[in-house]
Amino acid sequence: MQVAIIEDSPEQGRHLSRLFESCGTTAEVFASGQKFLHRIRTTTFDLATLDLQLPDMNGLELLRQLQAERALFHRGPPVMIVSGHHDLAIMKTAFSNGAHDFISKPFRPDELMIRAEAIARRHQPNLFSDEPISVQGIDLNLATLQAFCDGQEVPLSAKEFRLAWLLFHRRGQTVPRSHIMKLIWGRSDWPNSRTVDTHIGRIRQKLCLESRPGLRLQPVYGVGYRLDVFP
């Protein structure tokens, strides 16, 4: 699981980061709402925790902007409010503006983790329900699990096809290695495995991605992979 922690308190940010990482989750801390909004243009998160007191904007305003991102660009993780507020009116406003859960400080670490994992599971991206993808001469047909390059069918294994679909579906965004492992292999606890790299290499070769104009599949050091598309 990849978690964004939006928290202006360095101490609280470190505390939450250590908590998630102790459970095998990758966490990134953002001290402002704008930094987080900029990052979701290129990185996929499974969950965001949000403090309502931020230096550049109110947390409720960030929730409203995230709703717009989801509506217009289909991006943005589910959000759990982690706040010192206990006011029911604020809680109601947060939920009406798109929050998925609300937990007040101080919180019990085990309760936060249980609720965080439940939210992430409920909002797991529905990877395999979209229309066929067609990008720069590459066509992926989910209904038949077929891939084509310039009209010629390319034989891909089931996992190669699912991985190609994920990368093309999330084109322009960094897809974390743990996210790939979870969606394609059903687990994310193989930190030293070359499985993902091997399958990426096969996709590069079979879909001719190294020589195809307008496409670039590249590793993002320490994170995962990103497929960029150019005019």
- The CATH number linked to 184 is 1.10.10.10
Range of the domain at 213: 133-229
Give the chain's domain count: 2
Most confident of 15-19, 173-177, 178-182, 220-224: 15-19
Report yes or no on 128 lying in a domain.
Answer: no
- The distance from CA 211 to its chain's CA centroid, rounded to whole angstroms, is 28
| Domain termination site, one of 67, 90, 122 | 122
Q: Which residue has the higher pLDDT, 110 or 129?
A: 110
Q: What percent of the chain has pLDDT over 70?
A: 91
Helix (H, G, I), strand (E, B) or coil at 21: helix
Report CA dihedral (2, 63, 100, 7) to the nearest 10 degrees.
50
Model confidence at 123, in pLDDT bands (50, 70, 90)?
confident
Would residue 165 be called left, alpha or beta, if left means φ above 0 and alpha means ψ between -120 and 50 degrees? Answer: alpha
Residue 170 sits in the same domain as residue 96: no
- Mean pLDDT, the chain, whole residue set: 87
Query: For residue 15, what is the enclosing H or E element?
Result: helix 10-22
Together in a domain, 16 and 66 = yes
Total-model pTM: 0.64
Q: Is the dihedral of CA 54, 58, 64, 69 positive or negative?
A: negative
